[in-house]
Amino acid sequence: MAKVGMRRFIWAAALIVGLVLLAIPIVSVVRNPLPLGRIEIASGGSGGLFDELAQTYKAELAKYGVTLVTRPDLDGFYTLKALVVDENSGVTAGFVKGGFVGGQQGRLATQEDNAWHDKDVNAVRSIARLFDEPIWVFTRKADAPASLRDLAGKRVSIGSQSSGVRNVVRHLLAANGITKANATLIESEIDADAQPLLTNELDAAFLLMPPESPKVQKLLRNPALRLMNFGTEANAYVNRFPYLSKVELHEGAVEFAPKTPETDLTLITTRPALVVRKDLHPALIALLTYAAFQHPKAAFDKSGEPILFYTPGQFPIAADSEFETAPDARAVQTSHELPVLLRVLGPPLTRMGLPFALTAFISEHGSQVLLALIPLLSVALPLTRIVPAAYNWTIRRRLLIWYRRLKRVERMASSAAAPAELAAISAELDDIDEGVSNIRVPLAFSSQLYDLRLHINLVRQRSIKPVDTLSTLQTAS
């Protein structure tokens, strides 16, 4: 019976603790509903580099029950519009050109730019910077400028209104005093044949593309064109605009025959970012971060040539000067590993056909429950020794009360002589015996109960004997 009582107590305590622990994730789920296993990503053009990266992420995410839906119809400005403005777009992630948001702030930006910047940086979080993407400034070879300041009075292509390059270019030109007031800034992008440059319709054209892009490669090999050298000013650009870096394009790095470029050039670059909505579920952020770091951009182009300015293992990187890094991405960025529960349980739960919501729930709250159990166990383990002792003492206390009365009767009997005193002692013993017979104790304590009854009889025998002797003497006389 003692074991049964103890078992009931332990089960009751465990139930209370379990309900408390269960309440924690339930409240969290009510406040932040569990996600569907779906990420919709603005991938910026079917067949483009961003779309190719998204396709490599898709297979990795599928292992954990997450479907990645690509949106190649969204690029540049429209990516951020879908993430920031249109809450019904369904888009939860996207690729953003480096400098696109950085160019919306500072004294060179307009009030409209600053307003957009505040919206952008508050609505999205960064997962990684993916690779270097140089700012290419092509001009005719005979009219090559030494600096962006030399573009005053020129006709300059700065990229389409919706592209990611326009904001960056306007920012850099404004820093050099070049505006619509003293130059013709054309919101368009040249083709690979560069006809507007060759026919003097344009004097300079900006591109913001990866070096392995077929368009860039064709323009670099056009003998009538010249790629502008930022020279020593590149350091100043990097100092002033944190979203910029610099790279060296060495003599002959594109081709040795004919030698392209003909001299060493210093270029400034941006780094495109993979960003997510800040309210995307932590498990989805962790998985997308993991996919990005496990599947970086290839180090070789489609023809097998090494890509300029790209060293395997260098990217992706976590540092971001334009967006706040997603908190749930930081641990993955550092370790290149998923959280333990997500990593261990995600694939098997997916193979069992269970929804991603279950995986997300375990990943988010499983560690919280375990952490909550640690202090509880530190309390529960001592209780496993204290509670049984307290329980035993409680049962024994029922018997000790009667032992205390029995001890008092025994002392009275040792000094009693008169028949009236002995009769009172006998009546007291009868009362004790009746009280003990009504005690209910667990089976494990039955031996102690029977010991008490034996002790009552022992005291009775010692107390009644003097009474019998006195009665015999009185009869004999």
Q: Which two tokens stand for residue 445?
A: 């304590």
State the Cα–Cα distance between residues 37 and 356, nearest whole angstrom.
Answer: 5
158-174 pLDDT, tens digit each: 988 777 788 889 889 99
Whole-number Cα distances in Å, 352 to 63, 356, 358, 362, 364: 12, 11, 12, 15, 20
State the Cα–Cα distance between residues 124 and 83, nearest whole angstrom.
Answer: 7
Please report the pLDDT score of residue 472 as a whole number.
Answer: 46
Q: Write out residues in the chain with pLDDT < 50, as ranges.
A: 1-3, 30, 467, 469-470, 472-477
Is residue 82 within 8 Å of 74, Cβ to Cβ?
yes
Please report the pLDDT score of residue 470 as a whole number.
Answer: 46
Please report the pLDDT score of residue 453 as a whole number.
Answer: 79
* DSSP state for residue 279 in the 8-state scheme: T
225-277 pLDDT, tens digit each: 999 999 999 999 999 999 999 999 999 999 999 999 999 999 999 999 999 99
Whole-number Cα distances in Å, 60 to 53, 56, 142, 289, 312: 11, 7, 50, 11, 20
State the Cα–Cα distance between residues 423 and 138, nearest whole angstrom.
Answer: 126
**pTM of the predicted model as reported, rounded to 2 decimal places:** 0.72
Please report the pLDDT score of residue 419 as a whole number.
Answer: 72
Residue with tokens 């392995």: 212
State the Cα–Cα distance between residues 277 and 122, nearest whole angstrom.
Answer: 9
Please report the pLDDT score of residue 164 as a whole number.
Answer: 75
**Strand, helix or coil for residue 29:** helix
Strand 273-277 and strand 124-129: the pairing is antiparallel
State the Cα–Cα distance between residues 314 and 131, nearest whole angstrom.
Answer: 8
State the Cα–Cα distance between residues 302 and 296, nearest whole angstrom.
Answer: 15
